[in-house]
Amino acid sequence: MKAVIPAAGLGTRFLPITKSSPKEMLPIIDRPAIQYVVEEAINSGIEDIVIVTGRGKEAIERYFDMAYELERVLEERGEMEKLQEVRRISEMASIFFVRQKMPLGLGHAIYVAKNHMGEESFAVLLGDDIIVADKPCIKQLREIHKKYGCSVVAVQEVEKEDVRKYGIVEGEEVEKGVYRIERMIEKPSPEETASRNAIMGRYILTPAIFKCIERTEPGKKGEIQLTDALNLLLEKEDIYAYEFRGRRYDLGNKFDWLRINVEMAMQHDDFREKMRKFLQKILQD
């Protein structure tokens, strides 16, 4: 299976840093957010990855490219551990880049990768969403896709007052945590739906989605929304929602970026104790 990682958005919720630095390159300890996303795909058995970029996102391409001068300097200095790490990044997977010339929405970003995807179902991982899980989220979705043979979207329950921030799915629970979707509503008010199952940034899509994106009219902010295209797909094919296990961080959101850095520090052998002491001290003061 191949994967698309859309990373061409403007990141306006994270201004001003995103004026010149892609949000997908924000560091979590010592590596950029998008590396965690690429590693999730690889750890789910996906090795052919298309990253959708745009203007001002060149740092992403450079990051996954070979850094010849740097490698030579590290080699000369005998810093072999660092050299290995730097090499590992450029050799991780087959990564291809396509450009979305204008940020016309998530649906449009996925469409830009159409020619690379062929006639097979493919995975979509949003470049600014990190999911910390024992079993990688996209692997969980692949298992559901294999069982039901159709598109699957990752969902998680959110607070009632938060449904207005997400695409919400309504459907029938066919097994624990798996729903056959009946309706998807983009950013509803809490009165519009009884469901609290929100779509998070992971999908397995059948290739029929491309025809649906072609038929999707620009929606909010003039963008081609993936949820609108999914609703067209739902007229033709079943779509399932899966309540994945894991914690999701939206790096388009400043507070989530702070939270994930603390979580990752607590999982890191070098920082766990230091961070614990630091937090205790700050909370006491």
* 9 touches ligand UTP by CB under 6 A: yes
Q: Which residues pair with 167 in a beta bridge?
A: 186
Residue nearest to ligand UTP (CB): 9
Binding part of the chain for ligand UTP, among 3-11, 64-72, 205-213, 261-269 by CB under 6 A, reads 3-11
For residue 188, is the peptide bond before it cis, meaning its omega torsion is within 30 degrees of 0? no
Whole-number minimum distance, CB 180 to ligand UTP, in Å?
25
Task: Report the SS3 class of residue 211.
Answer: helix
Q: Which residues contact 31 (CB under 8 A, 6 or more apart)?
A: none
CA dist 136 and 144 (Å) reads 13
Q: How many residues bind to ligand UTP according to rule CB under 6 A?
A: 20
Q: Which two tokens stand for residue 248?
A: 């999701």
Contact residue for ligand UTP among 44, 100, 197, 227 (CB under 6 A): 100
* 49 touches ligand UTP by CB under 6 A: no
* 167 touches ligand UTP by CB under 6 A: no
- Burial bucket for residue 159 (CB in 10 Å: 0-12, 13-18, 19+): exposed
Residue 83 or 203: the one with the smaller Cβ distance to ligand UTP is 203
Whole-number minimum distance, CB 113 to ligand UTP, in Å?
10
Residue type, 169: V
Q: Which helix (H) or strand (E) holds 196?
A: none
- Angle at which helices 137-148 and 33-42 pack, to 10 degrees? 40
* 128 touches ligand UTP by CB under 6 A: yes
**Binding-site string for ligand UTP from residue 230 to residue 259, where x marks contact by CB under 6 A and - marks none:** ----------------------x-------
CA dist 108 and 219 (Å) reads 12
* 126 touches ligand UTP by CB under 6 A: yes
* 154 touches ligand UTP by CB under 6 A: no
Whole-number minimum distance, CB 101 to ligand UTP, in Å?
10
Report the interface residues with ligand UTP, using CB under 6 A: 6-13, 52, 100, 103-106, 108-109, 126-128, 252
